Structure 1
Amino acid sequence: MKDINGDKLKLTQHYFRHIFTTYALKGGMKIHDVAEILGHKSIYMTETYDHTLEEKQEVIKGILSGDVPVSTSNKTVLESIEGEDNPFKGKTIDQVDKMRRNLKIELLPHGICLHHPMRGEPCAQDGVCIGCNYFIASSRHLPIYERRLQRVNEELDKNSNEKSIYSTKLRYQKGQLEKYVFDIQEKLAQRGFQESLNQVAGAKHDD
């Protein structure tokens, strides 16, 4: 590899560990799996290898503070995020990140997991997030849910007459994905409508 001047880069093994970690996490690999591959005893050590961390912290702040519409089967969590007493509301990115670390909340490529591997407890759904009570779906990841729902529907069309375990799982995923998609789309529409009303009210006030 060469730099912008055409000179050869002096790359070390450590450099490639950083590249691997960043792209593995960005591509969807869970952090505890990356930590195991790298031989890290602490997930916090693995996080220092992730050079998209600042971007992720902004996403986490938006979701947890209620600035980004979310959907989840956990009514208690939903009420906390959407309520006026949201403990993350009004906090800075650094403050939210400290709270997130203390609460062991993990950002995934398709949402947020409240069951961080640092808890040392087994995953209730063996890594299957869709429909999990610990999973929070966000509008930031809506295109992912829409594409996945499309693929699930295509698979169900191919296996419409089957009563296999595979088809049963697909139908379950379809139901959960539809809930996330419709719920988030409705909240985005409501937010857009409210913003339009506020603009109209602001324009009348200026007149």
Structure 2
Amino acid sequence: MHQRVRERLPHLGRLVEAAERERDQTAALLAAAKATAFDTYFEHEGTRYLRVLPAAHKVTSRPDHVTPHVYIQAEGSTKRINQSMAEDEAFWAWAVIETLRHTGVRVEELTEITHLALVSYKLPDTGEIVPLLQIVPSKSNEERLLLVSPDLASVLATIIKRLRDANSGKIPLTARYDEHERVTGPLLPHLFQRRHYWQPQVMGQNTVARLLRKTLARMGLRDQAGNPLRVTPHDFRRMFATEAVTGGLPVHIAARILGHKTLTTTQAYLAVFQDDLIRTYRGFLDRRRAERPVEEYREPTEQEWRDFQQHFELRKVSLGTCGRPYGTPCKHDHACIRCPVLQIDPRQRGRLIEIIQNLRERVREARGNGWLGEVEGLQVSLDAANAKVHSLKRAPADGRPQLVDLGMPVFTDPAPPPPREPGKHGAWA
């Protein structure tokens, strides 16, 4: 899913521009056709068209408020085009794309948006009136309110004006059929409705997906495999979450906007790009550096640089290398044989064995003279030296890590179950 978002998000701007351009071009061609008489040619953007009078326009049973469709035919072509339907599909494809990318709602929630969902809220501090969009319960059965941005407000206002202009200043009341619950809802002023056989109906999820497919087909976009790019309504939801969080919106706020109950679900929606990751991490470093004292980021003096270089020389001892951090003194008074941070050089194995033999002789001498305090100290050094010898046995002489052959696993057949004995009446138990 993250790869889908990474492939589609860079094309989102082109998709929006293509949908808007298609909406304007089909509307301009429809207006030019309406201004032309039947069976008359007209020219639009260098192409001659003929406005056709179909036989369906002679039907007298059509309602008075329904405007007949406009049919045109390009010069030299035998294909008749329903320009009214083409303009209607281009407009609603644009409206669907804009609403999905500005809200991140599910496709079911998109079709449930009504004119009643637009509410106002007065901020208690400033008294400013802000528009909100109420999303009815869908998947999580929890309604939520979305802040309407200026771009989204323009889209919704355009949809409302279109519905009112086509229906004598009113938004028709339509009943939406729920495909999941298989029930028909009450009559409401749904915003995403179209006329089907002269009757207004709420768009279905298949209609929304079909409008997106047609827009993508006209663009000719391809994915990395060279196949036609597919964008589903749910892809807009993932792209909305990715753009919001990478743009600085906290992930817990994005979860509330998307209607998720847990942050884990929202995090699964996010597809972080490599450049966004680098830019965010650099910003984190800059903020952390700004909060730290300035003295920590000054240029080191020559004396400090010499001390730093000399530290690595001081770490070299007779048996190997001392692993103590820079700038820290030796805590064991240079009793390296006891120090746990001493890294033994495998080439000093012979010297280490000589030290062990000498320690054993000193322990015997101390015990013979009754020097019990010295015996205890020598014994601690002897145990530490023996532990270091055992660590050298597990490593090659040249310092490379030793490979351990674990062998191949052996699978044995499980033991067969014990035979059952006959019961009291001769039956098997």
TM interval, shorter chain, is: 0.3 to 0.5
Structure exhibiting the larger radius of gyration computed from Cα positions: 2
TM-score, normalised with respect to structure 1: 0.38
TM-score, normalised with respect to structure 2: 0.20
In proportion to residue count, which structure has more strand?
2
In proportion to residue count, which structure has more helix?
1
